Amino acid sequence: MNSRRWQGFAAQAVLAAGLLLLLWLLLDTTAANLHERGIRSGFGFLREPAGFAIGESLLPFDSADSVLWALVVGLINTLRVALPAVVVSTLLGTFIGLGRLSPNLLLRGLCKAYVEALRNVPLLLQLLAWYFVVTDLLPAASAALEIMPHVFLSKSGLFMPWFGGGGACLDLPVRGEMTISGGASLTPEFLALLLGLSLYTAAYVAETVRAGILAVPRGQSEAALALGLSRVQSFRLVLLPQALRSIIPPLTNQHLSLAKNASLAVAIGYPDLVSVANTTLNQTGRAAECIALIMVVYLVLSLLTAWFSVWLERRTGHWAERS
């Protein structure tokens, strides 16, 4: 027994060493080849001024800022669209998933149609469709719709009043000759991406929720009803806690793919991490470095999401035990 464990340990150690060796070989060969061909490598370019502008950002950005800061701005832009999309898709998906279990035939059919339509059309096509619907239908910025006082909707996006630079007074958007200035704005790129990602992911979330609820044995809800709980109570206190345990792991997968799907932003002109890294790659020519950076950032994002999900699973586990 002991020797078998030892063998197992040795096998794993050798495998790990082999993998490390392989990784080292890969990096070393790449570095040697780059050097041999006179290609500058390294991450020094991150400190150079970016030299390009970014269309929209939460953080202040100027073209004189560093490449690294440009990439951070891109990452924040990715999160700015991914986080709201996670919330919207989870809420919408849950309702649709429940709708698919509804005794009402019409509701059930509509929800099924939604799921089948949305998850069977490639996301890229959906994003392009939303984007062109948004930009084709809305009026030009000079003829923007004023849907509420000082709230403008046009091809340039949604403009609304926001707290001004001074902080004391409201910064009101003004319709200019060229476009609208002032206030806070959501661009059509952002809106189309948020909409596309949320609706697409909601279809998968709906299936996850439906499967999770169906996985709870029928006897559980029957027992709850027999104990005199109402339908709502039996759902909230008996069905949901048990369903959540099988819903959360696949739900995390959906949120992970959502974050990664957000990189399709580049197709419709939203300056996310990949878009900014693409531009950087072309200005500096540092292909290996830029691609490696994108990969590391997405890996870290995914690992963080996965850890959060493990934490959530434990929590819901306790909750299920307590109730």
Partner 1 sequence: MRLPTFAHRLRATIALAALLLPFADAHAGKTLEQIRQRAQLVCGVSTGVIGFSSTDSQGNWSGLDVDVCRAIAAAVLGNAGKIKYVPLTSQQRFTALQSGDVDVLLNNATWTLTRDASLGLHFTTVTYYDGQGFLVPKRLKISSARQLKNAEICVQSGTTTEKNLNDYFRMQGIKIKPVVFEKLETALKAFFSGRCQAYTTDASALAFIRSKEAPKPDDYAVLPELISKEPLGPVVRRGDDEWFAIVKWVVFALIEAEEYGITQANLEQMKASTDPVVQRLLGSAEDSGKPLGLDREWAARALKTAGNYGEIFERNVGDGSPRKLPRGLNAQWNKGGLMYAPPIR
Over the window 139 to 178, marking each residue x when it contacts partner 1 by CB under 8 A and - when it does not, the resulting string is: -xxx------------xx-------------------xxx
Dihedral class, residue 42 (left if φ above 0, else alpha if ψ from -120 to 50, else beta)? left
Of 84-92, 210-218, 242-250, 265-273: span binding partner 1 (CB under 8 A): 265-273
Site string for partner 1, 42-71 (x = CB under 8 A): ---------xxxxxx------x--------
State phi, psi for 44 to the nearest 5 degrees.
-60, -30
Distance CA 148, CA 162 (A): 14
| Interface residue with partner 1, options 83, 112, 172, 179 (CB under 8 A) | 179
Q: Which is nearer to partner 1, 201 or 275 (CB)?
A: 275
Residue 86, both tokens:
């996670």
Q: How far apart are the first and last CA of the chain?
A: 41
Closest CB 215 distance from partner 1, rounded Å = 34
**Which residue lies nearer to partner 1 by CB, 25 or 304?**
25
- Enumerate residues 6+ apart whose C-beta is below 8 A from 283: 50, 51, 52
Specify whether the CB–CB gap between 180 and 190 falls below 8 A: no
Pairwise CA distance, residues 205 & 295, whole Å: 25
**What is the footprint of partner 1 within residues 86-115 (CB under 8 A)?**
none
Among 109, 164, 217, 285, the residue binding partner 1 under the rule CB under 8 A is 285
**Pattern 8-37, partner 1, x by CB under 8 A:** x-xx--xx--xx-xx--xx--x--xxx-xx
* 4 belongs to the binding site for partner 1 (CB under 8 A): yes
Q: How far is the CB of 89 from partner 1 (least distance, A)?
A: 24
How many residues sit in the footprint of partner 1 (CB under 8 A)?
61
**Distance between CA 308 and CA 303 in Å, rounded?**
8
Residue of 67, 275, 294, 316 interacting with partner 1 (CB under 8 A): 275
Q: Comparing C-alpha atoms, which of 234, 289, 297 is closest to residue 263?
A: 297
Q: Give me the residue label for tokens 């340039």.
A: 156
Q: Where do the H-state alpha helices sit in 100-168?
A: 105-119, 123-137
User: Contact at 8 Å (CB) between 157 and 191?
Assistant: yes
Which residues of the chain form contacts with partner 1 (CB under 8 A)? 4, 7-8, 10-11, 14-15, 18-19, 21-22, 25-26, 29, 32-34, 36-40, 51-56, 63, 128, 131-132, 135-136, 140-142, 155-156, 176-179, 181, 187-189, 266-269, 271, 275, 278-279, 281-285, 287
